[in-house]
Amino acid sequence: MTTIVVMAKECRPGRVKTRLHPPFTLQQAARIAEASLLDTITTVSELPAQRRVLCFDGDTAPPLPMGWEVVAQTDGTLDERIAYALSGCDGPTVLVGMDTPQFSIGDVAAALTWPADIDAWLGPATDGGFWALALRRPDSGLVRGVAMSRADTGARQRQRLEEAGLRVAELPTLTDIDDAAALDEVAAQLTDGHLARLLQETR
């Protein structure tokens, strides 16, 4: 049974996307984060999976299509929260964040096929992190202790997987929406969706 997990936090002003301020207000930054999350949920809803989970940090989750589950994140650093999310999964699992609303079905299609010679897939981000992690057999120990939000996070995560004896392949490299420049880059790739419409209204 394939599980897809979206890691997300409640989109409250001052709590999300603060590096977009300026040029955006904190309220606008929160709306951008919310639109990004909704686009991510839309794409994941279209992927072939038996289970879809929103691993959520906050009080009020966004509206979800039928069949989704909401699981509260644990406390701790990001590696601990990802590890906790993986601990609740059984069978092939794909984990994505909420900061790459431009990701498409094609970007993760390979991670849903699981050829015999691949145990894990890593989706690198241009800032050195990763936007997706897929494991044939989820194991929280493969993530816990990996330093997050660093320029070498993706490299460290891949090293951890390989040191565990896993055969790792890469998904396409995508840009996280971290600041206004990254938002401009991502916006240029959007043709429709919540974020594209919001930016048309905002700018």
> Which pLDDT does position 1 carry in this prediction?
74
CATH topology of domain 3-202: Spore Coat Polysaccharide Biosynthesis Protein SpsA; Chain A (3.90.550)
pTM tops 0.95: yes
State residue 100's pLDDT score: 98
pLDDT in tens, the chain (203 residues): 799 999 999 999 999 999 999 999 999 999 999 999 999 999 999 999 999 999 999 999 999 999 999 999 999 999 999 999 999 999 999 999 999 999 999 999 999 999 999 999 999 999 999 999 999 999 999 999 999 999 999 999 999 999 999 999 999 999 999 999 999 999 999 999 999 999 998 86
Domain segments of the chain as ranges? 3-202
d(CA 49, CA 113) in angstroms, rounded, equals 11
